[in-house]
Homo-oligomer: A and B are copies of this chain.
């Protein structure tokens, strides 16, 4: 059994945002799947997806603080600078965090840990709407 859905996420501020609910709403009928996988892929090179703590918002704030220090803007050795100070660091962060996540499905539900959620990682100051492809397979 295969299902696929492409959705647009509303524009978000630069930073890390929980989107687990939006993914679950887009794929309504996991209930029929006993064993499977859900794959989410972001169609951009300056935003990314990851899985992390879904409770305390300070974790997501600290992610933005850390990654913006770890991948700094305006380094003298950067050559790709025409699209703004946030552009090349956004590409770098996207590859460090990655464009996709894969989550197991067990007995009709996403089989994540209690504290896990999916983050949209918006690395641009004004990234606009982001498009993701959700693919579900299972039996």
B-contact 0/1 string along A40-69, CB 8 Å cutoff: 011111000011110010110111011001
Complex alpha-carbon distance, A62 and B66, angstroms: 20
Which residues of B are found within 8 Å of A77, using beta-carbon distances? Answer: 62, 65, 69
A residues 103-139 touching B (CB-CB < 8 Å): 103-104, 106, 111-113, 115-116, 119, 131, 133, 135, 137-139
CB distance from A42 to the nearest CB of B (A): 8
Considering only residues 2-45 of chain A, those with a C-beta below 8 Å from chain B are 2-4, 6, 35-37, 39, 41-45
Contact (Cβ within 8 A) A80 B58: yes
Are A113 and B44 interface neighbours, CB within 8 A?
yes
Inter-chain CA distance A51–B47, complex, in Å, is 11
Nearest first, the 10 closest Cβ-Cβ pairs linking A and B are A43-B113, A58-B79, A58-B80, A50-B95, A104-B133, A2-B35, A4-B35, A45-B53, A59-B80, A51-B99
Q: List 18 A-B contacts (CB under 8 A).
A: A4-B104, A37-B39, A44-B113, A44-B115, A45-B52, A45-B53, A52-B94, A62-B77, A65-B77, A65-B78, A66-B75, A66-B92, A95-B97, A96-B96, A99-B116, A100-B102, A104-B133, A113-B131
